[in-house]
């Protein structure tokens, strides 16, 4: 019996190749396979077409131990998975009398005679193990061909998921040899992807070829860079130690720009620190219009450290609700360091908070001037050590808003987390 | 020049094969390719691995006219798309001096010298057309090999989408046979998926078999049901007339729960109506913590009709900043109709707005009582005709928050749009 280490998933169905339908089975199966110690090396969506599907099956079988196909096991003319798999692996389809009896009984229980089209659901590639389906007429199939295993499962998640848990997972677990995937994430903010790469590559590069190889991938989203480290092995404790050493080394090299090594988000790190120090925060937003508050209040229990916030979209609100003076706005403009500082101070005082953050800026698409183009954002923190920064972001309105929120969170982190005040803070 | 009719998409990135990451580009590209008249025959996610990626490219090239690859164009060692494609199609990689200059300038504008790793982004398969990237360092590539075309685009959507629109879509449009997919979306709120299905199926069912067949699919997201209608053909005007007739018939049957037939979002519909009536809105949020404001301020130009908002996360803020009395909170609780009404009235008066919306509720995971369980949300609108509703949502904290925002937007729509006040409003 060959070990199952590397898998591919093919989701079958032309409807999954239209913009309005989404294949959710593949992500679910990936997660379960990883937990069982099987790595997923490719995921494909193939149409209900004999030749396209055959090409996808042949392609996947070229490179994996385990191929899971979902969908295309129904009774209609465009359900072709059974036929294509039998053809590709060279097994004749034979009628399975117990499967046929099961389908007949299912219809009989509903007081209906089995339609003739359902006959084909009782056809099984010779030598396949039938996986009974408790929630539908399409049985699953487990087919071993030389060193490779093919598993066919019905498409509806409420049929697929219980069948996988009861009939497929135990069979896979018995064949993996105890190999497991362990993962760690190093999250960085305030540096670009290339800056992180330049610092990190000399560390993770050699780890890929070490005695316990670690695979690293870099993921960049607006305002955040993540280093994903993963390693396979059967000695889970040893892998975890190796990963921990790598995480420590990367953390030391990258420095205070690392904000978490346990997959925590920036707002969770800030939340934990504010709770620990028993500090209460208030927020004043202009161009980000509530998005910063929305991110902060995503954290369960945020009412413990977040008093509230004010979205001052109109200058009138800045003046009346935040106590920013008319004269200050007239002298410096609504998007300026003095106004951002006055907004932060105003919301802190009025809400009785320990510290406050304020954002004012021009998210676009209009409203820019030569002096202050679209993308200009000023962020102020009113705390024991006040900070104010003028930033300029490139991109569309949603991007500018997202980058402004990320920058405000990063300034907040550096303001409240003692270890985070590195040179990059300036 | 061969016509482009059938395409495959390969999303490159090992992180997309882990449970925590999702490839959103392929669905977006499918939609755009369909609109351009190109059918998508397969979608694959391939890892950052030379052999796996090469196998995926070879497999796809066996069956399509057009292959689009996304991701893997970055500067790091695990970005392999350029190299693999050059290898599979048998073209040497050559340095493109203009690309190199562009990347150098991009870094120079940020006052940073180009890191050595970025050099490889200037390597281009011989004969390829370079597609400049306005938002990042990775250029795209358009490569014609015999009758087939390969397009390489960077992974981040904010780079990929504008590049596709400006540089790829026109090139594809010039090469298709004039067959087009036309789409319409009927957006509904305040009804369940099965309610919509029951009303709509007798209408769209027969359309699938008509002389100009229309395909309909129903898409349900929290707070919104969408009917997607689509049809293929070369006489665009005729298809559009058929679709328009179907949209009208569905709109009449479903009634005022239909909030748009042009793919507009709920907040855009509200924005247009507030602008038309020259009304100014203020917002007070508690459990949704800024998310409603965030949605409203996503609409460009929202400062014309949105004065601002207040996030009252702490009762103290409700009392001090919104003028909700201590006695009212003590008598009814912070999550109650009188308090929601007082919040709406308070923010409207203090901000000098024409109307205001307020949300207070218990998003969870904790904070529920037998009387007011987690998921209880009260929404009030203070306007010429005031409205208040107590709702109970099931789900996790993010789901409850999303449903509360959707309900508030729907109440706001019914309050400001004259045609929307149907029987479902109660």
What's the whole-number mean pLDDT along residues A263-268? 92
Token pair, residue B332, equals 């009814």
Give the DSSP letter of residue B164.
I
| Cross-strand bridge partners of residue A68 | A9, A151
Band of residue A358 on the pLDDT scale cut at 50, 70, 90? very high
Integer CA distances (angstroms), A306 to A267, A280, B361, in order: 12, 6, 16
CB A382 within 8 A of CB A348: yes
| CA-wise closest residue to A246 among A219, A214, A198 | A214
Q: Summarize pLDDT for B306-330 with one digit per residue, the tens.
A: 999 999 988 888 888 888 999 999 9
3-state secondary structure of B9: strand
* A34–B19 CB contact, under 8 Å: yes
Contacting residues of A for B300, CB less than 8 Å apart:
364-366, 397
HSE-CB at A105 with a 13 A cutoff on CA atoms is 9
Q: Is B97 exposed, middle or buried (0-12, 13-18, 19+ CB in 10 A)?
A: exposed
Residue A392 has pLDDT above 90, yes or no: yes
d(CA B169, CA B130): 15
Contacting residues of B for A228, CB less than 8 Å apart:
15, 18
Residue B1 has pLDDT above 50, yes or no: no
Angle B318-B322-B328 from CA coordinates, rounded to 5°:
60
Residue B199 has pLDDT above 50, yes or no: yes
Rounded to the nearest angstrom, the minimum Cα separation between A45 and chain B is 5
CB A69 within 8 A of CB A153: yes
- pLDDT score, position A275: 96
* A313–B320 CB contact, under 8 Å: no
Band of residue B257 on the pLDDT scale cut at 50, 70, 90? very high
* A201–B117 CB contact, under 8 Å: yes
| CA-wise closest residue to B279 among B271, B268, B289, B291 | B271
Residue B365 has pLDDT above 60, yes or no: yes
Say which residue the tokens 């590209």 belong to.
B29
- pLDDT score, position B128: 96
Is the peptide bond prior to A265 cis by the omega test (within 30 degrees of 0)? Answer: no
Contacting residues of A for B306, CB less than 8 Å apart:
289, 313-314
* A41–B49 CB contact, under 8 Å: yes
Rounded to the nearest angstrom, the minimum Cα separation between A184 and chain B is 12
Q: Which of B311, B349, B357 to mutate to test the interface with A (most CBs of A within 10 A)?
A: B311
Nearest Cβ partner for A395 among B118, B135, B283: B135
Contacting residues of B for A200, CB less than 8 Å apart:
none
* A17–B41 CB contact, under 8 Å: yes
* B310–A310 CB contact, under 8 Å: yes
Band of residue B421 on the pLDDT scale cut at 50, 70, 90? low
Closest-CA residue of chain A to B320: A351
- pLDDT score, position B423: 42
Band of residue A20 on the pLDDT scale cut at 50, 70, 90? low
Residue B353 has pLDDT above 60, yes or no: yes
Nearest Cβ partner for B290 among A30, A218, A291: A291
* A302–B313 CB contact, under 8 Å: yes
d(CA B254, CA B244): 15
Nearest Cβ partner for A46 among B19, B42, B314: B42
Token pair, residue A307, equals 């008093």
Find the helix packing angle between B50-61 and B81-89, rounded to 10°. Answer: 50
SS (H, E, C) chain A: CCCCCEEEEEEECHHHHCCCCCCCHHHHHHHHHHHCCCEEEEEEEECCCHHHHHHHHHHHHCCCCEEEEECCCCCCCCCCHHHHHHHHHCCCEEECHHHHHHHHHHHHHCCCCCCHHHHHHHEEECCCEEECCCCCCCCEEEEEECCEEEEEECCCHHHHHHHHHHHHHHHHHCCCCCCEEEEEEEEECCCCHHHHHHHHHHHHHHHHCCCCCCEEEEEEECCEEEEEEEEEECCHHHHHHHHHHHHHHHHHHHHHHEEECCCCCHHHHHHHHHHHHCCCEEEEECCCCCHHHHHHCCCCCHHHCEEEEEEECCHHHHHHHHCCCHHHHHHHCCCCHHHHHHHHHHHHHHHCCCEEEEEEECCCCCCCCCCCCCCEEEEEEECCCCEEEEEECCCCHHHHHHHHHHHHHHHHHHHHCHHHCCHHHC
Contacting residues of B for A19, CB less than 8 Å apart:
27-28, 30-31, 34, 228
Residue A112 has pLDDT above 70, yes or no: yes
* B228–A20 CB contact, under 8 Å: yes
* A303–B320 CB contact, under 8 Å: no
Nearest Cβ partner for B291 among A59, A294, A306: A294
Percent of chain A with pLDDT over 70: 98
* B300–A364 CB contact, under 8 Å: yes
| Cross-strand bridge partners of residue A69 | A10, A152
Q: Report helix, strand and coil shares of chain B as percent, to nearest 5.
A: 45, 25, 30
Nearest Cβ partner for B309 among A195, A290, A303: A290
Full-model pTM: 0.75
B224-247 burial, b at 16+ Cβ within 10 Å, e below that, comes to bbbbbbbbbbeeeeebeebbeebb
Rounded to the nearest angstrom, the minimum Cα separation between A100 and chain B is 32
Closest-CA residue of chain A to B350: A321
CB B143 within 8 A of CB B91: yes
Say which residue the tokens 């951002």 belong to.
A340
CB B291 within 8 A of CB B409: no
Closest-CA residue of chain B to A290: B290
Band of residue A395 on the pLDDT scale cut at 50, 70, 90? confident
Q: Which of A17, A22, A48, A366 to mutate to test the interface with B (most CBs of B within 10 A)?
A: A17
Nearest Cβ partner for A398 among B27, B289, B298: B298
Nearest Cβ partner for A27 among B19, B117, B292: B19
* B78–A216 CB contact, under 8 Å: yes
Rounded to the nearest angstrom, the minimum Cα separation between A56 and chain B is 7
Rounded to the nearest angstrom, the minimum Cα separation between B345 and chain A is 16
Residue B406 has pLDDT above 60, yes or no: yes
Nearest Cβ partner for B297 among A313, A320, A364: A313
* A18–B34 CB contact, under 8 Å: yes
Contacting residues of A for B307, CB less than 8 Å apart:
313-314, 316-317
* B44–A49 CB contact, under 8 Å: no
* A309–B307 CB contact, under 8 Å: no
Nearest Cβ partner for A293 among B63, B158, B311: B311
The complex scores an ipTM of 0.73
Where is average pLDDT lowest: A90-104, A159-173, A322-336, B178-192? B178-192
Nearest Cβ partner for A309 among B47, B290, B302: B290
Token pair, residue A320, equals 């009346």
* A293–B292 CB contact, under 8 Å: no
- pLDDT score, position A137: 81
Average pLDDT, chain A: 90
3-state secondary structure of B325: coil
d(CA B417, CA B426): 15
- pLDDT score, position B424: 42
* B217–A15 CB contact, under 8 Å: yes
The DSSP code sequence of B12-76 is E-GGGGSTT----HHHHHHHHHHHTT-EEEEEEEE-S-HHHHHHHHHHHHTT-SEEEEES--SSS
Nearest Cβ partner for B217 among A21, A45, A58: A21
Residue A113 has pLDDT above 90, yes or no: no
Contacting residues of A for B47, CB less than 8 Å apart:
41-42
A vs B, Cβ pairs < 8 A, gives: 250
Closest-CA residue of chain B to A284: B310
What's the whole-number mean pLDDT along residues B73-80? 88
- pLDDT score, position A157: 87
* B311–A52 CB contact, under 8 Å: no
CB A142 within 8 A of CB A149: yes
Compute φ and ψ for A383, nearest 5 degrees: -150, -170
Where is average pLDDT lowest: A253-262, B10-19, B263-272, B354-363? B10-19
Residue A290 has pLDDT above 70, yes or no: yes
d(CA A314, CA B304): 9
Token pair, residue A404, equals 């402004």
């Amino acid at each position: 019996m060959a070990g199952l280490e590397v898998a591919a998933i093919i989701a079958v169905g032309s409807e999954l190749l239209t913009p309005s339908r989404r294949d959710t089975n593949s992500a679910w199966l990936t997660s379960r396979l990883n937990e069982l110690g099987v790595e997923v090396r490719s995921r494909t969506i193939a149409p209900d077409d004999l030749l396209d599907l055959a090409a996808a099956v042949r392609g996947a079988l070229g490179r994996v131990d385990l191929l899971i196909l979902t969908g295309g096991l129904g009774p209609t003319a465009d359900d072709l998975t059974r036929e294509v798999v039998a053809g590709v692996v060279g097994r004749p389809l034979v009628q399975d009398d117990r499967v046929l009896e099961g389908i007949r009984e299912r219809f009989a229980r509903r007081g209906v005679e089995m339609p003739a089209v359902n006959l084909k659901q009782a056809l099984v590639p010779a030598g396949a193990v039938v996986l009974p389906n408790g929630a539908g007429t399409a049985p699953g199939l487990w087919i071993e061909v030389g060193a490779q295993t093919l598993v066919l499962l019905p498409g509806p998640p409420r049929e697929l998921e219980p069948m996988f848990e009861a009939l497929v997972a135990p069979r896979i677990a018995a064949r993996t040899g105890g190999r497991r995937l362990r993962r760690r994430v190093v999250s960085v903010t305030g540096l670009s992807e290339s800056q992180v790469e330049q610092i990190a590559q000399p560390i993770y590069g050699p780890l890929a070829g070490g005695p316990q190889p670690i695979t690293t991938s870099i993921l960049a989203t607006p305002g955040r860079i993540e280093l994903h480290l993963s390693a396979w092995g059967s000695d889970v404790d040893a892998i975890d130690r190796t990963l921990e050493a790598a995480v420590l080394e990367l953390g030391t090299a990258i420095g205070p720009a690392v904000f978490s090594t346990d997959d925590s988000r920036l707002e969770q790190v800030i939340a934990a620190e504010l709770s620990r120090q028993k500090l209460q925060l208030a927020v004043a937003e202009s161009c980000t219009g509530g998005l910063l508050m929305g991110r902060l209040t995503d954290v369960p229990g945020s009412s413990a450290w977040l008093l509230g916030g004010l979205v001052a979209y109109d200058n009138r609100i800045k003046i009346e609700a935040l106590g920013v003076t008319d004269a200050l706005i007239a002298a410096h403009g609504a998007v300026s360091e003095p106004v951002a500082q006055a907004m932060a101070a105003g919301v802190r005082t009025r809400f009785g908070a320990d510290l406050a953050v304020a954002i004012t800026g021009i998210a676009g698409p209009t409203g820019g001037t030569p002096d202050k183009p679209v993308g200009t954002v000023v962020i102020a923190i009113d705390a024991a050590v006040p900070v104010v920064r003028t930033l300029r972001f490139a991109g569309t309105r949603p991007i500018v808003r997202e980058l402004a929120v990320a920058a405000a969170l990063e300034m907040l982190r550096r303001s409240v987390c003692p270890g985070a005040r590195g040179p990059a803070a300036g």
